[in-house]
Every structure is written in C-alpha cells, then in structure tokens.
Structure 1
C-alpha cells in the first residue's frame, strides 16, 4: 500500500521530486517561523498594547467624569462624543482572506482590550472611512441635563485612533518577504538541480548510443565528485566494451581466415585426388558440406561486424530494394514490389544490403510463396516490409528468434543455419536507430517491418 501511494503521489522524475521536497521543506520552515513569531512575539506584544490602551481609556473615562461641565463641552466635541453609535461601527473587524494576519491581529487586540475594560464599556470597530475604535464611556455627555438642570449620567460613545500594534501592517510585509525568500530558495534549488541533471542527461544519451552499437565520445568528468565518478565509470565501461568488441571481431576474423585456408586446400586436394571418370557423388556431397561450413563462418562474421565502422550516407532505399529484387529475380525468385515515395535516409550501404538480403532470403526459404516488399513513409520515419504467404512461425515466435542462436521449429528441414539471421537484422536496424517488428499479413502469412528514422545514423 505504501509503495502504491508513493508511486501515485510522488512525481516521476528525480528533478520534480527534489524540487517538491525542497519547496515542502522551505514552506514548512517558513510556517514554523511564522507560528513561533505570532505566538511568542506578536501575541504578547498585542496583548501588552491592549492592556496599555485599556489603562488609557479608563483614565480618560475618569477624567471626563471629573471634568467641569464648561470644559467638558469642548473636550467632548474634540473627541466626537455621540449618544448613538454610528452604523458603520461593528463588533469585530471584517474578515479579509488577502489580509488574514491583519484580521487576526485586530481580533486579538479587541479580545484583549475587552478583557481589561469593564463589562459595561463595550468596544466597536469602524473600518469604513477612518479606522477608529468606538468606546462607550460612563461620564455624562456634554449638554446632557436632567429635568432639574443638572448634568445627566447617560453613557455616550467616543472615537479613539487605533494603536499601531493593532494594525498588523509591518509584520504582514515581513510575512510576504519570508514567502518571497522561500520562493527564491525554491528557484535556486531548481537551478542547482538542472545543473546536476545535465550530466545525467548526457549519460542517458551516451548509454542509448552504446545500446544502439555506436561509440560515443567520453563523458566530461569535471563536475561534482559523485557525477564525475559515475561518468568515469561509464567511460571505463565504454572502453572495456570497445576493447571486447575489437577482440571479438579480431578473433572471429582470425578464425574465419584460419579455417577457410584449409577448406580451400581441402577442396583442391579432393579435386586432385579423384581419378578422372570416377563417381563424383562423394565430391558433390563433400563440397556441399564445405559450402555449409563457409556459410556458417560468414554468418558469424556478419554478426560480429554489423557495420559499426561503416560510414553512413544519404541514400535511396527504394533503389537498393529494386536492385536486390532484380538479383533475386535472376535466380528465379520474384518479389512483388510496392514502393512508396520515401525521403532520403542516412544508412550504411553494405549493412543495409545485408539486412534486406537476410529478410528476403528468409522469406524465400521459410515462406516460399507470396513474396513481396513494400515501403512507405511515416511521421519522421520510413518503413520497409518484407512478407510472404508461408504458414510457418507466428509473430510471437519470430520475436523470440531475435536472440542469437535461436532457431524456429520450421528450421529443422533447412540445414546450414546458425540462428543468427534475425539477430543480425535486429543489430543492423538498431545500429541505424530503428527497430524490427513482426505483423500478420492481410490474407495470410507474415510481414517483417524495418522502421528507420529519417534522421538515421
């Protein structure tokens, strides 16, 4: 369950995971800092400001109550004293999501202020127009008299300016600055991760070139120590593969040369040893076996050197197919051609000819009838299909024959094979940046597709 959740929730790429982790850590640290600041710094500060303001209000209330009526009139006018509360005054400040901290600090200030003031001195907040606090006082308002002509003691409201500590504007800017710094840290981490991912991208491209049979240039090892170690190990592996490939090609070339020399001498000795007019059936059989040995040697050589060192150049695949089809027609094997318009493709001529010859020869040997070759252009690629009407192997069985030294059940009646034919075709196709596919043919039989990119090697 945990593994499924991690696969579902976590991003697919290492870059996205690192950036997400960095953003989460930065945001968590910022949230913790803000919580500590609000609880241990701002809250005591606001509560202390409310206590001081409550003391000021109580002192003012006592002063107004003790002020003579003549002086109270001017003082009440300056304080904008009113018997009725203005309609724009509210019990609590309105909520604003964009200024959530300011709303929180004002509410905290009002709660603290109400705790320090008597219960019969309510507080109201005015936001429309000027920002003011309305507080109901105990003393008589100026000009209020009872029936006997003395001052009445009815409560009245006065407006006082809001203390700076209740505004919350300074810390709000600090919070936005902190969030901006967090975003800047995330962007810096993103840039650092991109810098680290560049060698990994080069390593991926080099590995793909190696898997396609190419020899990439050595990777730079001047980056961070960990990346440099990986690049150095990859360069060492590439050199080892190239040395092994060279040793294998040299060994097979030597074996082929050393075996073909005695085979040639054996042919000559057999021809000279047989008296004139003798039965030649033995010679014919022996030469047939010698031909099989040479074909096997040639297949090993083709598999060992599939054209890596051959230079690729632009060419017309249709012209190469027509030439090969003409050669097979001269041997009595007719291929039906359906050649579409193809763009120029960069390919290795000898290797591509070997690929097409192997496919066409397999169609003749194992299919027998309905021989056909067709070509068509795809998006950024071209396709060559060689088909027959044989009832031999299925497409899935042919997929398994891509591995070296694998022979199908229909190969028992055909001698002289090594199980390398489709392996050679697969290696050449991959060398050109393409691939090999097997499809059922309309009307029966199978088709082997070779798909090559237009910008092939």
Structure 2
C-alpha cells in the first residue's frame, strides 16, 4: 500500500504539514522548558516554603483556635479532611510533577492538588491543597492568586493545536489555489488527446503558470486549425475525385454489349474507390455534431444483425446479456459495430459470434465480436489501429486501412477502450467497452 501521495498537490500539502508539525513540536518543547517548567518550579518552591513555615511553627498539630487565627492573618487554612471535602477538595485535580517537587524540597511525601474556579470557595478563584504523609488527615489550603487557567497543564496545548490547524488549513488552501490552474490544464489536455478542442483556458495563478496556460491555448488553437484544414482538404480532394469517377462510370455505360465484363469490372473498381473515399471522409471528420442519447447496445446489435440475415453465408450467433442504457452517439456507434462485424465476415470467417456483458463494479458495458478466421500476428495487433496499417499477411485484407483507425477514434470519443486479441481456439476477438455514465 502506497502511503506517500503521487500528485504534486498531495506532496506539497504533506510537506507543509510535516514542516508545521516539526515547528509545533519545537514550539511545544520550547514553551515547556523555557517558560512553563521554570514557572511551575517557582510555584512549587513557594508552596514548599509555605509548608516548611507551617511545620516550623507546629501549626499542623496546634489547637483549633491557633489555626483559625493563622488562617485569618494569612488566608492559609489548616483543616481536617472532612472540612476540606466540604470546601471543594473532592473536585480538586492532583498534579504529580508539583507533588514530586514539593516532596523533594521539604523531605516529606506530599500530595498537591489544585481546585478549579468552579469548585473553589471564597473570593480566591483557585486554591492549592497540600497533605503530608506524616499527617494524612490534615490539609493545608493555600489561595492561588493571579491564576488564569482552570488547569496548570505544562504547555498551552490548546493554543498550539489551534495554531497548527489554522496553519495546515491555510497551507492546504494556498496549495489548492496554486494547483487549480494545473488541474484545469490537465483536464483540457486530456480532452485534446481525445480529439476535443476546449475553449481557451483562463490565465490565472503564478506568472509561470500563466505562461504555460498561454502556450497551451496557442497549441490548442493551432491543432484545431490544422484539423479543420485537414478536414477541408480531405473533403475537397474527395469531391474532386468523385467527378472523374462519375465520368468514367458514364463512359463505361457507353461500351458495347459484348464488353459487359469490362463494364462490370470498371463499375466494381469505381465502387471500391468510392468506399475508400468515404472512409477518408469518415476518418477526417470528428462526428462532434451528433447529439448524445441513452442507447441500449443489445438493441443496436440486433438491428445491425438483421441486415446480415439476407446473406445466406453469414451466420451470426448472439450471446447477449441484460445491459443498462449507456450514453452514446447512435450513428457513430453503429459505424463501430458495422465495421467490426463486416471485418469479421470479410477477413475472418462466415461464422461470427457476438456477446455482451455488464461490469457492475467498473460500470462498463462490454461488447465482444469473434470470428473463426486465421487471426493476426501478435506483433501486428497494435499496428492495425494505426491509419493505413493492415494485417495483410495474415488476413489478406484490401482497402485503405482506415476502418479500425476510425473505430478506435469513435470509441475514444465515447471515453471507452477497444482491444484486439487472438482466440486460443482460433480466430480474432475484437472487444470494446463504453462507460455507463459520461
């Protein structure tokens, strides 16, 4: 399990958090050893001196009247345990470090407790209770003047915690503000990689981030302009090619009847050239204008399979499981299915099986198309998705080599994925998936 974050945001927040934690620990120790500890030692010394003064006058065992007179003069009471409990001893807090310091100075084991403002009696907000092991039933009650906390904890822990939380929160906000333009740039780059062209990003953040955003916007606009020019050029070339093809077709119709075989051959070549031109146009355009709609993949497959029922040599086996609707562009997705099915029949075998299933954990809709042909060499499986690349050696294919490139382009546009693999029992398996939600 990885503990350290991978993102720059997480690493920066972690770094700031560690530095602030070290700063808090150093501050805690500094306050403890240079401020709190000397103060508590001074208080313990004063308490020990007070107890020694009481011991020297034998006031602990003195008559009640003498102890009352001493309390009236010094406000230091020497009372029994029963009286101490009535005046708030039961709610007092024991302090081990002060008890140890007082015991070490007076040479007798002492129990030191401090009552809070809510339990103290009289005008003094806090009182110190001291009991000696030599007289466990007697308590010395000393008023604590000038106390400003309900507990004498060593360092001001709560203040340090608040400062630490505020510091970490401020550091998190700063890093988040610093990384927000980077996250927007990342999302935009992913869109460009999928063939989309987002609007220009807002230039914000540091000067370096603004320069990077400005350069990305220029690159995005340049790529879009090149794509538009390529589409326009392809459309122009395709249009110009269709004109001479039409003339050739008209000229072939004027051939004498004894040249029917020549006419048929010319017409077949023209149809092949028109199909290649159509593939060029399909590859050049992005199909961005079609609206998204929720589509059931099984219904789309059944619709396309019906078109192949008119061929006696086409045998399609369907293994469709229940699928939820998925957002897609219907015409573009039909082109994917039609291309994969047509390739399976043309270059594979006359028997094709189509199966679908739904991965509930990953929220993906899968479609798998298998033929029983010769397959494709393993080292050429990835290349067939490249434009103008074909698996000619294994499958004897003809055409422009744009079919699978168009297919993968459409699948990527749907935020899905497509793979090809050879089946262990023979044939090629084309599998693609679409996300359940966009």
**How high is the TM-score relative to the length of structure 1?**
0.70
Name the SS of the counterpart of 1:372 in structure 2.
Answer: strand
Partner of residue 291, structure 2:
311
* CA distance, structure 1, for counterparts of residue 412 and residue 422 of structure 2: 22
* CA distance, structure 2, for counterparts of residue 202 and residue 367 of structure 1: 45
* CA distance, structure 1, for counterparts of residue 185 and residue 245 of structure 2: 47
Matched, 1:21 2:1: no
Matched, 1:296 2:276: yes
Partner of residue 96, structure 1:
none
Contact 2:131 / 2:139 at 8 angstroms: preserved in 1? Answer: yes
Partner of residue 110, structure 2:
124
Matched, 1:251 2:245: no
Which whole-Å deviations, capped at 9, do the CAs of 1:249-270 have from their partners, x for residues lacking one?
1111122222332333344456
Partner of residue 151, structure 1:
none
Contact 2:390 / 2:397 at 8 angstroms: preserved in 1? Answer: no
Matched, 1:391 2:374: yes
Contact 1:270 / 1:283 at 8 angstroms: preserved in 2? Answer: yes
Partner of residue 10, structure 1:
4
Higher mean C-alpha deviation, range 422-431 or range 235-244 = 235-244
CA 1:404–1:163 in 2, change beyond 3 Å: closer, same or farther?
farther
Which whole-Å deviations, capped at 9, do the CAs of 1:303-331 have from their partners, x for residues lacking one?
21242233333445445434433333334
How far residue 11 of structure 1 moved from its aligned partner, in angstroms, is 2.4
Correspondence list, 1:260-279, <5 A: 260-269=242-251, 276=256
Partner of residue 187, structure 1:
169
How far residue 398 of structure 1 moved from its aligned partner, in angstroms, is 2.9
Matched, 1:365 2:357: no
Contact 1:371 / 1:387 at 8 angstroms: preserved in 2? Answer: yes
How far residue 405 of structure 1 moved from its aligned partner, in angstroms, is 2.7
How far residue 392 of structure 1 moved from its aligned partner, in angstroms, is 1.9
CA 1:247–1:126 in 2, change beyond 3 Å: closer, same or farther?
same
Correspondence list, 1:192-231, <5 A: 192-195=174-177, 198-221=180-203, 229-231=211-213
Name the SS of the counterpart of 1:32 in structure 2.
Answer: helix
Unaligned 5+ segments in structure 1 are: 1-6, 83-98, 138-154
Matched, 1:419 2:396: no
How far residue 425 of structure 1 moved from its aligned partner, in angstroms, is 0.8
Partner of residue 144, structure 1:
none
Contact 1:372 / 1:387 at 8 angstroms: preserved in 2? Answer: yes
Partner of residue 140, structure 1:
none
Partner of residue 177, structure 1:
159
Structure showing greater Rg: 1
Correspondence list, 1:138-177, <5 A: 160-161=140-141, 169-170=151-152, 172=154, 174-177=156-159
Which whole-Å deviations, capped at 9, do the CAs of 1:370-423 have from their partners, x for residues lacking one?
2233444553443333221113226774344223332225457333x2332211
Unaligned 5+ segments in structure 2 are: 71-76, 81-92, 116-126
